[in-house]
Structure 1
Amino acid sequence: MYIAQGRQGKLGMWKYLPIPILFMGVMGLNYLVLLLMNADVTAIIEQQIRSKGKNQFFAESMIIFVFLLAGLFFWVKYVHKQSILSLTTSRNKIDWGRFFFTFFLMASFIIISTLIVYFTSPGDYQINFKPVPFLILAIIAIVLIPIQTSFEEYMFRGYLMQGLGLAVKNKWFPLILTSVLFGVMHASNPEVEKIGPILMIYYIGTGLFLGVMTLMDEGLELSLGFHAANNLVTVLLVTADWTALQTDSIFIDVSDPGTGSYEIFIPILIIFPLFLFILSKKYKWTGWKDKLFGHIPAS
């Protein structure tokens, strides 16, 4: 049982609380400051990009996750005395086959769906390919994006999922709360400012999807692969001037962002369930009720 893996370390509420409180506190403070200052996040990003260039700004935005992931691993290993393997999976070793399966599944979906939209609505995309800036971007993204997405997965679907599950002795509460917190983390993104608070449904739904994947598969490998592919392929393939990650991608989305069902509800209602169906068949998932809503034994 994945959540029970947290017992391999030295338990104690004081050990679990500082990391999420510090991380969410910084995120909340950042959002509050922007709100009180009535700051235009998009304008701030545009100014930084004009000053530094897209690649430098992107690298600076991502480099902090190197320290965040290293800090989380240090805390887990030396304060909790828990192995990184037990934070990652309930299996005897990390199953990289699972990681790469969801990585290539999601990467293929993004590439194919983007090309379909490009050829059916070419006016929505502007070709932006510049060989040298793109090569630099690719190097930065391949190194740093997996670190960024791994931190988010280890924090929400790993550290918090295990800690909350052991505290409340069930699985549904950590699944719901980590999904909500994952969504809240994105509240200050310029996409939310541009499209509106309804976009939070997508972020929370994505967190729920990744949480279900983790609990059903008893490990983080699938969610790590999915999340890495989603962010890496997106920043290389297509970005927009109103998103948090603006890069020298192959395409620039110049369409007017809206709040239609395609952008928000189609992934949640169709794509994510389809992915779960594919994974459930491939990995022969059973016992959905117990794995998602069951109790966790006291010891």
Structure 2
Amino acid sequence: MSNVYLEQASRGRNQPWRYVLTAVLIGLAVVLFNVPYSAFLFLVASRSGDADFRFDPVAGVVEGVPFPAFAVGMLSFAVVIAALALGVRAVHKRPFSSLLGQEGGFRVRPFLKAAAGAFGVLSVAAGVNVLMDRESFTLNFDASRFFVALGLVLVLTPIQAAAEELLYRGWLMQGVYRLLPRPWVAVAVSSLLFWAAHLPNPEASGTPGWSAAYYLTVGILLAWVTLRTGRLEAAMGLHAGMNLCAFLVTAPATVMFRPASLFIDVQPNSMRDVAFIALLAVGTVLMVRRGDDRPFTERLSAQ
């Protein structure tokens, strides 16, 4: 069965070499950003006199990065968006807005609605978990640090979420569909690559099985929302809401930066995270179905 969202790649050119070239452009852009960013971290670490902040690129040690310095690194996602836009327009010869959906143009309302919903559901779940398992969490609230982090993440987290959704649920999923025109194949491949990209995260190393289940569940959920709505904004919003909760409410102690969240999870539990995402998935499915009760095939034909 064809899919209107995935068919957007047909508006441009899709020879395999074009995907390789675009991937090279993105990789090169990230490397060019990370070289001066690494120098910036080294300079800050050497001059701060902070014993908890360690950065040794040769040994591969990155620990205790102050949140503002970590936030600077999140600008790399803006670089990814710019490189992807160049690849889609100049290499694939199609509108960058085709990654959002058939009609193009970013729609703010579904993004904000999904972000608020995800943040609300996960924050309540995290709050209940803190009350039930107080030994696994430590209070971390510091007004000066928290409100600085709040301002940074409200600006940078949507950019991060947009970059990952445009890349995985947009460009990659549409591209895989051009090669193998089966929606489930596109969903599976994009979700596997999404999981693989998060393997280097420190929080994913403790329980690799549950971490894989977490990232694959997230990838499949965001892909399903994209195909169900026929657009990318709701997936972006869900992704942003998840990350906002991680940055502001409960952050795992295993992250490389110094969390500014309300609580720190000193005993991260990936099985619990999978349960939270399953709860969010159920809520998302119910919300999307309630928003439009027409059969999926009918919604596609209407587009």
Q: Normalised by the shorter chain, which TM-score bucket?
A: 0.7 to 0.9
Which residue identity is paired with 1:271? Answer: L
- Give the distance between the partners of 2:12 and 2:163, measured in 1 at CA: 19
1:7-18 correspondence runs (5 A): 7-18=10-21
Q: Is the 8 A contact 1:157 1:178 kept in 2?
A: yes
After TM superposition, give the deviation of residue 23 of structure 1 in Å.
5.9
Please say if 1:249 is aligned against 2:256.
no
Cα distance 1:246–1:181, how it changes in 2: closer, same or farther (>3 A)? farther
Cα distance 1:270–1:240, how it changes in 2: closer, same or farther (>3 A)? closer
- Give the distance between the partners of 2:269 and 2:65, measured in 1 at CA: 28
C-alpha distance after superposition, 1:172-214 (max 9, x if no partner): 1111100111111111111222223331111111101111111
C-alpha distance after superposition, 1:62-111 (max 9, x if no partner): 12212111111121122222222211112454332211111111111122
Q: Is the 8 A contact 1:235 1:245 kept in 2?
A: no
Instruction: Quote the residue 2:54 is aligned against.
Output: 47
Instruction: Quote the residue 1:136 is aligned against.
Output: 148
Any idea what SS the aligned residue of 2:209 has? coil
Q: What runs of 5+ residues in structure 1 fail to find an aligned partner?
A: 28-44, 292-299
After TM superposition, give the deviation of residue 19 of structure 1 in Å.
3.2
Which residue identity is paired with 2:268? Answer: P
Please say if 1:233 is aligned against 2:245.
yes
Any idea what SS the aligned residue of 2:74 has? helix
Please say if 1:95 is aligned against 2:107.
yes
Q: Percent identity?
A: 24
Cα distance 1:156–1:165, how it changes in 2: closer, same or farther (>3 A)? same
After TM superposition, give the deviation of residue 281 of structure 1 in Å.
1.5
- Give the distance between the partners of 1:223 and 1:24, measured in 2 at CA: 23
C-alpha distance after superposition, 1:98-152 (max 9, x if no partner): 1111111111112211222223333332221212222221222122211111111
The TM-score normalised by the length of structure 2 is 0.79
Which residue identity is paired with 1:275? Answer: T
The TM-score normalised by the length of structure 1 is 0.80
After TM superposition, give the deviation of residue 26 of structure 1 in Å.
11
Any idea what SS the aligned residue of 1:197 has? helix
Instruction: Quote the residue 1:74 is aligned against.
Output: 86
After TM superposition, give the deviation of residue 50 of structure 1 in Å.
8.8
1:55-204 correspondence runs (5 A): 55-91=67-103, 93-204=105-216
Total equivalences in the alignment: 271
- Give the distance between the partners of 1:182 and 1:16, measured in 2 at CA: 17
Moved more, 194-203 or 64-73: 194-203
Moved more, 12-21 or 105-114: 12-21
- Give the distance between the partners of 2:29 and 2:62, measured in 1 at CA: 26
Which residue identity is paired with 1:105? Answer: G
Cα distance 1:124–1:72, how it changes in 2: closer, same or farther (>3 A)? same
Q: Is the 8 A contact 2:62 2:256 kept in 1?
A: no
Any idea what SS the aligned residue of 1:133 has? helix
After TM superposition, give the deviation of residue 257 of structure 1 in Å.
2.9
Which residue identity is paired with 2:170? Answer: G
Aligned-residue Cα RMSD (Å) equals: 2.9
